[in-house]
Amino acid sequence: MIGKIEIDQAKKARIIDKAGHLADEIGAKYMACAPATFAAICEAFRSEDIELFTPETQEVLTQGMIGLHGGVSMTGVGTCGAVIASTFIISYVVGVTTEELTKDGNLNYAASIPAVEYVIDRFEEDYGAIDCLRVRYNRVQRALDLMDPDARILEMTFALYEQDKCGMTSDNFEGGRDQTPPVRGAYWAVEAICDLLVMEPQERKELPPHLKGLGMQEMAPKLQKVVEALKELGWGRPNEKISYRDYRKLKLEGKKAVEENRVGSVNAPEK
């Protein structure tokens, strides 16, 4: 757990600026959003004598971040690596322990709220998405499959041909590389982390009123009467062995058609 740290506005501005430039520098070196964003954030705070992780731990975690690049393992279909890395560190700084989570699952919100407000909402505003494919397409109207060698060649050709539009290969930081997800993800994450670090550790876990009391422990007793009423009404058809939709298929196409498309283990009725 990281204790309360005094960070004035001047120091906060320096850390944010440092994180952006480091994300650009490391991003160009690694060519990977997640580890670049993660390392940049850690090093930016270290430049102001704030150590989020020891160098050894940081190196191990950065290695793990490599597989989260490109929408998870360069597939493009998952969340942008810059969002993942930013959210990871924000969650760490919020400091909800697994023991606390076991006692109160509602504390999932504590780490989620600052990640959404500072990073995810801003990615949606700037890039129109948080998933890798749409972030890349919305930025440069290109979203090629990074696992396809031919597509990779085309992507790099585009990056060199349209340097300012691509951003990463631009000579211009402000308005060029400054627009890339690692840079902006690092900016926004550092802002969130600075605002969290000036709080007492327990204060970081405080939930807004509308999200309090939504844990399973609090809700289960209150919902039990509702559950009993739904059971009495037969809601959800709990005893149904075949859905109405599959029943229609059975009538129209026969038992074989139902069983060939069934995901679960319940077979169509014999009759």
The pLDDT value given to residue 161 = 76
The pLDDT value given to residue 271 = 59
What are the angstrom distances between the C-alpha of 252 and each of 2, 25, 45, 260, 264? 63, 62, 65, 14, 21
What residues contact residue 8 under an 8 Å CB cut-off, 6+ apart? none
Q: What is the pLDDT of residues 211-233, one digit of tens each?
A: 888 888 888 888 999 999 998 88
Report percent pLDDT > 70 for the chain: 89
CB 22 within 8 A of CB 44: yes
Looking at the DSSP assignment, which residues form a beta bridge with residue 106? Answer: none
User: What is the model's pTM?
Assistant: 0.81
The pLDDT value given to residue 270 = 66
Looking at the DSSP assignment, which residues form a beta bridge with residue 79? Answer: 131
3-class DSSP assignment, residue 16:
helix
DSSP string for 176-217 = TGGGSHHHHHHHHHHHHHHHHHTS-TTGGGPPPGGGTT-SHH
Q: What is the pLDDT of residues 64-93, one digit of tens each?
A: 999 999 888 988 889 999 999 999 999 999
What residues contact residue 41 under an 8 Å CB cut-off, 6+ apart? 19, 23, 52, 85, 86, 89, 186, 189, 190, 193
Q: What is the pLDDT of residues 135-188, one digit of tens each?
A: 988 888 877 788 888 888 887 787 777 776 666 666 666 666 778 899 999 999
Average pLDDT, stretch 246-267? 70
Token output for 271 = 């009759």
CB 135 within 8 A of CB 123: yes
Average pLDDT, stretch 235-250? 73
Average pLDDT, stretch 52-60? 97
Weakest-pLDDT range from 19-28, 122-131, 240-249: 240-249
